[in-house]
């Protein structure tokens, strides 16, 4: 039998010809003399029709032996068929069973969360999870396309670090020969250094935080995109963020429509995401919350309910700007006109997904930064190099951190961030 091995996505190139497709059995129906095998290969799904009278006893018996998720190679003639899922059907000529699967535990019925997470390695094969993996890949691609096209250079910061950038209670500590090291919580400080070398830079990689509470927005290991720009102020920083998000949304709309349908995402809501995004100052946000009976005062940080309520007023992401310096990181530039607030902003996604971006202009003045170190009791020696940057051609600069999983969760409309990454690391879950 002469056939070309191809993927399901490319079947349209082979109408009327014999091809071989290799994949896994997704589903099977039988009516005595005909079997319908639904085969998936990662590029699509195709129905393969095996007629007993045509394929013979042996091949028909092989088809009958295939269980869900069995791996196989099937050869057949490609037929165009409008009613078929991908537009084509395969008339089976031969089937080779590669491995007959045991009873597949992740059935289409409802399962509990722990069961699904225990079986994450198998759960990833269902349509919904495949859609999420695809969307994740496209979000990463869109981010890279946008930044690469805008003159940014991708730089990879270290994962093992001698110091922490954020809250020390969330650090993962590990031995580094005779020293202590920590898994990175953010590459930002390093990105500031390379911004002084390349101008506009970004990183795309994992961050680790020992988050001690269970929320639907926090993972222990998550991925961040961290752009950093020399000669950039607060205003420009927000414009870049806005344009990046609009680009990502449009890219996903363009490339992931089938996946968004699998996830039953309200696509019109995504189409409404356009720049400019609404803005509120922290002060305005506090006043609004107080007017809406939230028990909060100036100087408090927002919790998830506050962020959800604030962002809930809008159909697109909301910037909250100028938080009190006291509740933000030590490196944020105070507003020169009002030093008690920082030139920073969080971007809150609509529909309760919370903060997807945190960003700020950074302190570029040596003395001011040194003073901040003292106020925050930071170990001067581990941060000496960071302070050093302010001695050699320091310039105003700004940047931000975009959480990939939160962005994916929002774009996909999923309940919990854990499905936005292949193998989620969560409180007390390090398996599989
Ligand atoms: P939050 O206030 O929600 O805890 P954060 O202010 O601690 O977030 P940043 O340090 O500003 O987070 O990090 C930048 C971005 O990384 C956040 O806006 C968010 O999208 C994402 N992020 C932060 N922590 C987590 C986490 N534990 N899991 C997933 N994403 C996270
Ligand atoms: Mg946090
Ligand atoms: Mg925050
Ligand atoms: Mg933040």
CA of 28 to the centre of ligand 2 (A): 46
CB-proximal residues (5 Å) to ion ligand 4 = 358
CB 138 within 8 A of CB 121: no
| Helix 380-388 × helix 366-375 angle, to 10° | 160
Say if ligand 1 is within 6 A of residue 136 CB.
Answer: no
The 3-state DSSP class for residue 227 equals strand
How far does the centroid of ligand 4 lie from the alpha carbon of residue 359, in Å?
7
Ligand 1 lined by 356 (C-beta under 6 Å): yes
Residue 165 confidence (pLDDT): 57
Q: What is the pTM of this model?
A: 0.97
pLDDT of residue 109: 76
Report the alpha-carbon distance of residue 94 to residue 21 in Å, rounded.
11
Distance 215 CA to ligand 2 centre (A): 11
pLDDT at 164: 60
Per-residue pLDDT of the chain (432 residues; tens, 9 = 90+): 789 999 999 999 999 999 999 999 999 999 889 999 999 999 999 999 999 999 999 999 999 999 999 999 999 999 999 998 889 999 999 999 999 999 999 976 789 999 999 999 999 999 999 999 999 999 999 999 999 999 999 999 999 998 665 567 899 999 999 998 999 999 999 999 999 999 999 999 999 999 998 999 999 999 999 999 999 999 999 999 999 999 999 999 999 999 999 999 999 999 999 999 999 999 999 999 999 999 999 999 999 999 999 999 999 999 999 999 999 999 999 999 999 999 999 999 999 999 999 999 999 999 999 999 999 888 888 889 999 999 999 999 999 999 999 999 999 999 999 999 999 999 999 999
Q: Are strands 200-208 and 153-154 parallel, antiparallel or unpaired?
A: parallel
**Alpha helices (runs of H) in 300-400, residue ranges in sequence order:** 304-311, 366-375, 380-388
Ligand 1 centre from 36 Cα, in Å? 47
Structure tokens at 107: 């059935």
In terms of Cβ atoms closer than 10 Å to its own Cβ (0-12, 13-18, 19+), residue 140 is middle
| Number of other CB atoms surrounding residue 271 within 10 Å | 11
Q: Which two tokens stand for residue 295?
A: 């028990």
ipTM, 2 dp? 0.99
Q: Closest ligand 1 atom, CA of 209?
A: 27
φ, ψ for residue 237 (rounded to 5)?
Answer: -60, -45
Residue nearest to atom 25 of ligand 1 (CA): 218
Domains of the chain: 4-99 (2.40.50.140), 118-420 (3.30.930.10)
């Amino acid at each position: 039998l002469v056939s070309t091995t191809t993927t399901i996505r490319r079947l349209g190139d082979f109408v009327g010809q014999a091809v071989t497709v290799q994949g896994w059995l997704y589903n099977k129906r039988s009516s005595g003399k005909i079997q319908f095998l639904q085969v998936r290969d990662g590029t699509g799904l195709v129905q393969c029709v095996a007629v007993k009278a045509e394929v013979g006893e042996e091949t028909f018996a092989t088809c009958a032996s295939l269980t869900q998720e069995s791996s196989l190679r099937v050869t057949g003639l490609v037929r165009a068929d409008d009613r078929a899922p991908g537009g084509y059907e395969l008339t089976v000529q031969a089937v080779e069973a590669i491995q007959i699967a045991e009873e597949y535990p992740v059935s289409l019925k409802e399962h509990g969360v722990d069961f699904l997470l225990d079986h994450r390695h198998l759960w990833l094969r269902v349509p919904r999870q495949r859609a999420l993996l695809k969307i994740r890949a496209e979000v990463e691609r869109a981010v890279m396309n946008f930044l690469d096209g805008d003159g940014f250079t991708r730089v990879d910061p270290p994962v093992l670090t001698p110091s922490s950038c954020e809250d020390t209670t969330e650090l993962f500590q590990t031995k580094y020969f005779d020293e202590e090291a920590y898994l990175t919580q953010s590459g930002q400080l390093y990105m500031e250094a390379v911004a002084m070398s390349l101008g506009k830079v970004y990183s795309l990689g994992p961050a680790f935080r020992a988050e001690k509470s269970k929320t639907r927005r926090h993972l222990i290991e998550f991925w961040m995109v961290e752009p950093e720009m020399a000669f950039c102020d607060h205003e420009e920083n927000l414009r870049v963020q806005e344009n990046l998000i609009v680009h990502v949304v449009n890219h996903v709309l363009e490339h992931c429509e089938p996946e968004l349908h699998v996830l039953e995402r309200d696509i019109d809501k995504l189409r409404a995401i356009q720049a400019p995004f609404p803005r509120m100052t922290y002060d305005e946000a506090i006043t609004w919350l107080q007017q809406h009976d939230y028990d909060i005062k100036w100087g408090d940080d927002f919790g998830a309910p506050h962020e959800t309520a604030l962002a809930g007023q809008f159909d697109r992401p909301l910037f909250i700007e100028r938080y009190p310096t006291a509740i933000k990181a030590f490196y944020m530039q105070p507003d020169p006109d009002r030093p008690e607030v920082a030139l920073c902003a969080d971007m809150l996604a609509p529909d309760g997904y919370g903060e997807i971006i945190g960003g700020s202009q950074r302190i570029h003045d040596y003395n001011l930064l040194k003073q901040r170190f003292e106020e925050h009791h930071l170990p001067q020696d581990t941060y000496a190099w960071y302070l050093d940057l302010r001695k050699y051609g320091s310039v105003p600069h700004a940047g931000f951190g975009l959480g990939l999983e939160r962005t994916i969760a929002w774009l996909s409309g999923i309940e919990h961030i854990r499905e936005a990454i292949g193998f989620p690391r969560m409180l007390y879950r390090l398996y599989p």
